[in-house]
Structure 1
Amino acid sequence: MKVVLFACLIAGAFARPDGDAEVLLDEREDQGDGNFRYTYETSNGIFKETVGTPGSEGQSNMVGSYRFTDPDGNVVEVRFTADENGFQPESDAIPQPPPLPEFVHELLAIAEQQRNSGVQFDDQGFPI
C-alpha cells in the first residue's frame, strides 16, 4: 500500500495543475483475495495502470505504468515493478549512472575467482 501511495504522489507531483481536466477512464477491480487492477486516465494526459497480486512475504506485488506531461511539455512514461525488492521504476526519463570502467570489471572477476578458490577475506577486505 505504501508503494501505491508513493507512486501516486510521484505522478501527482509531476503533473501540471489543470482545473479543467476530466476523468476519461476510471476502472477498478478488486477480487478481495489480494488480486486487483486499476486504470485511470484524465484529459490532461495523466494515466496510471496497476495490477497487483499477493506477495510471498505478505506484501502486494505490483506491476504497472504511469504517464504524465512534465513542465516542459514532454510526455514522461514510467514502467514499474513493486515487490519484496522494493519499487523498481524504468524510464528513459530516469538518469542512469555511467557504466563501470573495464578495470573494475576485471577486479570483480579476480575477486570472484579468489572467492571460488577458497580465499577468505577479513572485515577490511584483506585475504586471511
Structure 2
Amino acid sequence: MFKFVVLMALLGFSLAAPQKYEDEPYVTRQASQVNPDGTYGHEYELSNGVAVQESGIGGQYATGGFQHISPEGETIQLAYTADETGFHPQGTHLPTPPPIPEEILRAIEYIQEHPTPEEQADREYRLQHNQ
C-alpha cells in the first residue's frame, strides 16, 4: 500500500509540473558583469525578439536600450540614457511635441532681448562671479 501511495504522489507531482510550450520565449543569449569600481553591464535576448542591454556606473549613469516585436510585427526600439538630469528615451515610436507657433517664438525672442531690470542685474552678477 505504501508503494502505491508513493507512486500516486510522484504521478501527481509530475502532472502538476509546469508545462513548457513551444511558443514560450526562452533566453537565447545572456551576459552580465559587475566591476568593483561600480561599473556594470548586462544584456540578454529572448527567442521572441526581445533584446535588452544596459551599461553604466551604479547610481550615477546608465545608457542602454531594448527592443521587441509589436503585435503588428514591427520592431520597436528604444535607446536611453539616465543620469542626474533624469531619464532620456529616444525612439521613433515616441510621441513628439507639436512645433512652437511663430508668435510664441517671437515673444520669447523679445523677452530675451528686453530683460527686466532684475533680470539684467542677475545676468551682470552671474557674468562677474562665473569667470
RMSD of the alignment, in Å? 1.8
Deviations 1:72-125 (A, max 9, x none): 22110000011111111000000101110111111111111122xx5347xxxx
Query: Would you identify which runs of 4 or more consecutive aligned residues in structure 1 move more than 3 Å?
Result: 118-121
The aligned residue for residue 11 of structure 1 is: none
The aligned residue for residue 41 of structure 2 is: 37
The aligned residue for residue 102 of structure 1 is: 102
The aligned residue for residue 8 of structure 1 is: none
- Of residues 26, 32, 43 in structure 2, which corresponds to 1:28? 32
Q: 2:117 and 2:106 mapped to 1: Cα distance?
A: 17
* TM-score w.r.t. length of structure 1: 0.69
Max Rg structure: 2
- In the alignment, structure 1 segments of 5+ residues that lack a partner are 1-17, 122-128
Q: 2:118 and 2:60 mapped to 1: Cα distance?
A: 39
Following superposition, the deviation at residue 19 of structure 1 comes to 5.3
- In the alignment, structure 2 segments of 5+ residues that lack a partner are 1-21, 120-131
* TM-score w.r.t. length of structure 2: 0.68
Q: Which amino acid aligns with 1:52?
A: G
Identical-pair percentage: 26
Other structure's SS at 1:107 match: helix
The aligned residue for residue 125 of structure 1 is: none
Following superposition, the deviation at residue 20 of structure 1 comes to 2.0
